[in-house]
Amino acid sequence: MVYDPRNPQDPDVIAHPFAQGTTTSLSAKIPTSFFGLTGYQTVRGVYSTAEGFNFDQAPQLLLPPGSAAKLTKQGYVFGSYAVQQFLWADPDNPGKGWGLFAQVSASDANPNPIGNTIIIGVGGSTSGRPDDRWGVAWCDYLWSPALRAGLVAAGAGLNDERVLEAYYDAAVAPHVRLGPDAQVIWPGTPGQSTALFIGVRGRVVF
């Protein structure tokens, strides 16, 4: 894929495409089979020529107005590896089952504010209700070391942010889905309390 790195809702993207750089993404998805169970492994690489805030220059924000400082940095790179693997397949419903999914990613962490991410979880469907879906996942956002160092210089701090989420999506009718969702968030901002979000979501599929 080759696309404009700006917000696609910005009308200027249509009027002047690629005016602020280009992002190129290349990925490969490889099917696998372990012990007769289907799985996939995906590798992705991204390079962008867009400019972003240079976190190495964050302390320059404390200088008096008019001080010479280049606060932007051009270009960033990002890479990820993901795996999806069935651990159980429903013999009566091909393509149904539950399994493991995970992704690890890394970037140059400047100007990308997130350095690395780790996502791991289990999810899928069960034999009793093959059209229902469920999942439990853990995510860890490791912020850019340059961003964290810049915030420390400015008198602020930032910790890694972690999220635990669980959901159940029930097929209550052929075109109606309903289920609870719960999230626990350990925020990256020092001093903020752990947050708990509980909700119910519904969908009507046409």
DSSP of 12-77, one letter per residue? HHHHSTTTT--EEEEEEEEEEEETTEEEEEEEEEEEEEEEEE-GGGGGGGGSPTT-----EEEEEE
CA distances from 122 to 94, 131, 140 (A): 19, 17, 16
Backbone angles phi, psi at 151, to 5 degrees: -65, -35
pLDDT at residue number 9: 85
The C-alpha torsion from 149 through 145 and 48 to 78, rounded to 10°, is -170
Taking only the tens place, the pLDDT of each residue in 119-167 is 999 999 988 888 999 999 999 999 888 888 877 776 777 889 999 999 9
Taking only the tens place, the pLDDT of each residue in 165-187 is 999 999 999 899 999 999 999 99
Average pLDDT, the chain: 89
Greater pLDDT, 201 or 72: 201
pLDDT at residue number 157: 79
Residue 185 token pair:
């968030």
Identity of residue 12:
D
What SS3 class is residue 152? helix
Nearest by Cα to 52 from 114, 142, 112, 141:
112
pTM for the whole structure: 0.81
